[in-house]
Amino acid sequence: MISDEVMARIREEMASYNGSGVSVLETAEGSPEYTEIVDGAEKLLRELMNIPQSYKILFLPGGADMQYSAIPMNLLSEHKCADYIISGQRSKAASLEAKKYGDIAVAASSAGASPAFSTVPETKRSDFRPDADYVHICFNNIVYGTKFHYIPDTGSIPLVADMSAFLLSEPIDVSRFSLIYANAECGIGAPGLTIVIVREDLISAAHKDYPSAMDYKLLINGENSAATAPVWSIYVAKLVFEWISSLGGLEEMKRRNERKASFIYDYLDNQSYYTAPVDKKCRSMMNVVFVTGDASLDKKFAKEASEAGFANVGGHGSVGGMCASIYNAMPAEGVEKLVEFMKKFALENPKLEA
Amino acid sequence: MISDEVMARIREEMASYNGSGVSVLETAEGSPEYTEIVDGAEKLLRELMNIPQSYKILFLPGGADMQYSAIPMNLLSEHKCADYIISGQRSKAASLEAKKYGDIAVAASSAGASPAFSTVPETKRSDFRPDADYVHICFNNIVYGTKFHYIPDTGSIPLVADMSAFLLSEPIDVSRFSLIYANAECGIGAPGLTIVIVREDLISAAHKDYPSAMDYKLLINGENSAATAPVWSIYVAKLVFEWISSLGGLEEMKRRNERKASFIYDYLDNQSYYTAPVDKKCRSMMNVVFVTGDASLDKKFAKEASEAGFANVGGHGSVGGMCASIYNAMPAEGVEKLVEFMKKFALENPKLEA
């Protein structure tokens, strides 16, 4: 979802970027407009997230999934071992991809929770192998509606986090992580863009046998500019960064997102028609999951919600139920209308007593 | 560059795609709009290029450079050997990347031409190793302004061609190639999209140790939909396919492009201020390279051309000179104006006699 303000700007500049007479879609690599967009986006992101200078920011093409391979390729050392915390299907997919390149262990998993992945695993430092090259977590789990309510203590082991659908929704202490990556498509709205924020000292050398497009060393040095995301995607991201900044930055985003999420969760906690299956302490502020307890009613809800203009409320096939994604761009009124719709649906579709 | 017609459509549908009330930028994977865009784009491309059913079409994220790794990963057999024809820096970069994965030989090269790469190598079947898994060529060489004027005869060895900046500029017999790939950014105008057209029987199995995002088998089976290009990019490509189709398809594109290219080449051949260094039989219709013979005049030309509204006419740093890119979307008047500018510049900047 993209905010109305950002969308208006995109439409305006589609014909002529910043008075240049050339559309952003036609901006050539290396032109002054190109440099202004890429450098400007990086500077804004660094300010918004308070990213230390010792971290590099990469704007890469493709989905976050491409980093499932790039991360082990770049971070595994000679002895090749890393620990993964499994909190949903994305972290599982990341660990399976990493297994192609090294000795990957599951340090903790919430697969056994009831329902599965309705909470995130609690961990302590001793859960991790002391010689692990890194520990990987998925910070926000979209389809399960969970979020890490704590930052795992990995001691001196670098912590790597997939922050897709979480990045820029609230402040986060970047210095607690060695590498943060996020698909900028869902939460930020920039198509085809993955953001990687990586501690530079972690990347020591280019790798002889890895694809150049996945080699952080080449990417950081700008030796593989062809592997940079299209300027169009970076342009949309930059507009979103400016918009967040103009509203007051990540503290203000957090305040707004907490208010929106509370509005739905408060309703869910004070009725009995819907169930919110997620462990309260790790509820996601971005993705609110709820079920009616009846698969056919869930289906009916998703269909009618879609017809009423609530796009993509249906839960993911593998999990079922509903998942309301209330990203930064969703206004408070959108959430209020959704709760109204939920109330109306509950009244109109009484459940048969078991 | 994007045609005015396509740009108008993009602006119109930016707020609401096809009356859906949702911007294309916000189209979710798996929605009816998503399916319509992706399937529609594939169908149109298959019609335009007359692609046999035995070929699969992939819409992938990232630049064509990512396929420099994916191609050897997917096409090299157990004995791992392939031949590359070197006709410029892109084919050279592709061969260097491939060397990470197998025994790569240079079957022919025009590096020794004068000036370097001002022609494409002539080849015969005996230039290729009989046990090569494939032969790779770069069909159109942007910075050198050359195009293959023939399709190499590789016998039963699969022929792989990078057709970036050439695809859709004229008809091509797809059945002569086993794999065609192209960055859709320069010639077609779809940011962040690479098109891969591959003979399905060539792709036998998923590879255990390759990144999933580069595994054609998984991509063809749709088992890695996360690795598909963003729907936004496919949407822009689909609009361009529709536009080409409405004008009369690739035969008509060829007629227009020949007319535009002839207009510049005819001028170049009938004056003495500029030199067109490219071997006449392999002149590119998309990228017209010319030089004044004086590096400082070349620089002045590029600067003044840019100020006069001719974007990106400056040649690439490594080659120098000028490169006029006259893709499908460039109207005939654009070429006429450029020639007027060239005439004016020649008059205003007389060269000192040596």
Q: How far is CA B264 from the centre of its chain?
A: 20
Q: According to the model, what pLDDT value does residue B318 have?
A: 62
A23: contact with B, CB 8 A cutoff: yes
For residue B224, the chain A residues in CB contact (below 8 A) are: 65
Cβ within 8 Å of residue B172, ≥6 positions away: B49, B163, B166, B180, B250
Identify the pLDDT of residue B224.
59
Contacts of A10 in chain B (CB under 8 A): 14, 25
The answer to whether the Cβ–Cβ distance between A25 and B11 falls below 8 Å is: no
Contact between chains at A63 and B226 (C-beta distance less than 8 A):
yes
Chain A nearest-CA residue for B59: A62
Residue A14 pLDDT: 79
Closest CA–CA distance from residue A116 to any residue of chain B (Å): 23
Q: Would an 8 Å CB–CB cutoff place A345 in contact with chain B?
A: no
Task: Report CB contact under 8 Å: B66, A7.
Answer: no
Using a CB-CB cut-off of 8 Å, the residues of chain A touching B213 are: 62-63, 65-66, 69
Query: Packing angle between helix A4-15 and helix A231-247, nearest 10 degrees?
Result: 140
Does the pLDDT of residue A253 top 90, yes or no?
yes
Amino acid identity for residue B118 in this structure: S
Query: What tokens does B319 get?
Result: 């080659």
Least confident of A86-95, A312-321, B30-39: A312-321
Q: How far is CA A224 from CA B63, B128, B325, in A?
A: 11, 30, 23
- A 10 A CB-CB count for A328 gives 25
Domains and CATH numbers, chain B: 4-246 (3.40.640.10), 249-348 (3.90.1150.10)
CA distance A14 to B191: 13
DSSP assignment string, B272-309: SSSB--S-GGGB-SSEEEEB-S-HHHHHHHHHHHHHTT
Furthest C-alpha separation in chain A: 67
The residue type found at B175 is S
Tell me the nearest-neighbour CA distance from B25 into chain A, angstroms: 7
Closest CA to A341 of A258, A256, A257, A267: A267
Cβ within 8 Å of residue B182, ≥6 positions away: B64, B162, B163, B164, B165, B166, B167, B188, B194, B195
pLDDT value, residue A163: 97
Model pLDDT, residue A16: 77
Which portions of chain B are predicted below pLDDT 70?
206, 223-227, 317-319, 353-354
Smallest Cβ distance to B23: which of A2, A212, A233? A2
Those residues whose C-beta lies under 8 Å from the C-beta of residue A12, and which sit 6 or more positions away, are none
Contacts of B308 in chain A (CB under 8 A): none
pTM reported for the whole predicted model: 0.92
Q: What is the mean pLDDT of chain A?
A: 90
pLDDT at B226: 57
Report d(CA B125, CA A211) in Å as an integer.
30
**What b-and-e string marks burial along B238-258, b requiring 16 or more CB atoms within 10 Å of the CB?**
bbbbbbbeeeebbeebeebbe
* Complex-level ipTM: 0.89
CA distance B37 to B46: 14
- Across the interface, which of A26, A65, A227 has its CB nearest the CB of B65? A227
> Over 90: is that where the pLDDT of A41 sits?
yes
Instruction: Tell me whether B334 touches chain A (CB under 8 Å).
Output: no
Q: Which of B203, B192, B180, B216 is nearest to B48 (CA)?
A: B180
Collapsed DSSP state (helix, strand, coil) of residue B79:
coil
What was the pLDDT predicted at B181?
Answer: 97
Q: Does A100 touch chain B (CB under 8 A)?
A: yes
B307 contacts in chain A (CB < 8 Å) = none
Strand order in the sheet with A135-138: A55-60, A194-199, A179-183, A159-162, A135-138, A81-86, A103-109
**CA–CA gap between residue B33 and residue A126 (Å, rounded):** 49
Least confident of A274-283, A319-328, B35-44, B172-181: A319-328
Rg value, chain A, Cα: 21
pLDDT tens digit string along B52-87?
999 999 999 888 889 999 999 999 988 789 999 999
| pLDDT top residue among A231 and B91 | B91
Is A76's Cβ below 8 Å from some Cβ in B? no
Residue of A nearest to B13 (CA): A11
Q: What residue in B sits closest to A12 (Cα-Cα)?
A: B11
Q: Which residue of B has its CA nearest to A26?
A: B1
Query: How close is the nearest chain A Cα to the Cα of B314, in Å?
Result: 11
Half-sphere exposure of B129 toward its Cβ, with a 13 Å CA cutoff? Answer: 17
Which sign, positive or negative, has the C-alpha torsion B205, B209, B212, B214?
negative
Q: What percent of chain A has pLDDT over 90?
A: 66
The partner residues of B81 in beta bridges, in order of sequence, read B103
CB contact under 8 A, B311 and A22: yes
Listing DSSP states for A175-207 in one string gives: GG-SEEEEETTTTT--TT-EEEEEEGGG-----
Measured between alpha carbons, how far is B246 from B240 in angstroms, rounded to an integer? 10
Q: In which band, very low, low, confident or very high, does the pLDDT at A223 lie, cut at 50, 70 and 90? A: low
Q: How high is the pLDDT of residue B103?
A: 96
Which of A101, A77, A94 has its CA nearest to residue A158?
A77
Interface with A, mutate which of B38, B100, B188 (most A CBs under 10 A)? B100
For A25, residues 6+ apart whose C-beta sits below 8 A from its C-beta are A14, A232, B2, B7, B10, B189, B191, B236
- Least confidently predicted of A183-197, A214-228, B2-16, B232-246: A214-228
Instruction: Choose among B15, B213, B224: nearest Cβ to A7.
Output: B15
φ, ψ of residue A311 to 5 degrees: the values are: -70, 140
Work out the number of other CB atoms within 10 angstroms of the CB of residue A60: 26
